[in-house]
Amino acid sequence: MAGAPIAQFEHVTKAYHMGTVTVEALRDVSLNFFPGDYISIMGPSGCGKSTLLNLLGCLDRPTGGAYTLGGQDVSLLTDDELSEIRGSRLGFVFQSYNLIQQLTVLENIEVPLYYQGFHADESREMAMALAARVGLTDRVDHKPFELSGGQQQRVGIARALVNDPLVILADEPTGNLDSKSGADILDLIDELHAQGKTIIMVTHDPDIGERSMRVIRLRDGQVEEDVRKE
């Protein structure tokens, strides 16, 4: 794709030390992620998919190599600085939704805005607009246990959009859903991509891989294949 990468891995390695054993989850991975990309990260269990997503999401640091996000090398940032990056530049969609059960739909969407210091009225207005964007206007006062799985994931997607992120990172977003709800969520993700969002999604589902414009396959901590569709 044209233009500078929105995120870049340069010879990234991630190793975990378990007693006397060192496990290399990623080995010398170099990848460019461009604005407007819609990527599926695929591969067998234990190949490094989740590790890759955690590094992209600034939830972990590389053992070696460099990770640049939005032109900034985030490899050596402090925990507080990484937290700031997560809050301002990244949106997360989780397989298990990660909603706060005691809060309403609207309040769950507002949580990231609270930590960013938005005024209550502005926060409420933004959350209402996002609830409408994901088709939940009539559910804003419901708690998560009153929603279907698909509706809960819509809340998760709305929450991921609150900071207008550079990148949306999705970890098996349809993994806990039935086929109809999963298809609805994928349609919503397709819409977000069509609106210009950059999406990087871990999935084991080949049908999801077919929907994306680029598929990165990992095996044994390395890039086995990186294919962009015409």
- The sheet with strand 7-18 has its strands ordered as 21-33, 7-18, 64-69, 72-73
Quote the pLDDT of residue 1. Answer: 53
State how far the Cα of 194 lies from the Cα of 97, in Å rounded to an integer: 23
- The fold adopted by the segment(s) 7-228 is Rossmann fold (3.40.50)
- pLDDT higher than 60, residue 2: no
With cut-offs at 50, 70 and 90, classify the pLDDT of residue 119: confident
Six-digit token string for 195: 């609106």
Residue boundaries of the structural domains of the chain: 7-228
Q: Give pLDDT tens digits for 17-47.
A: 888 899 899 999 999 999 999 999 999 988 9
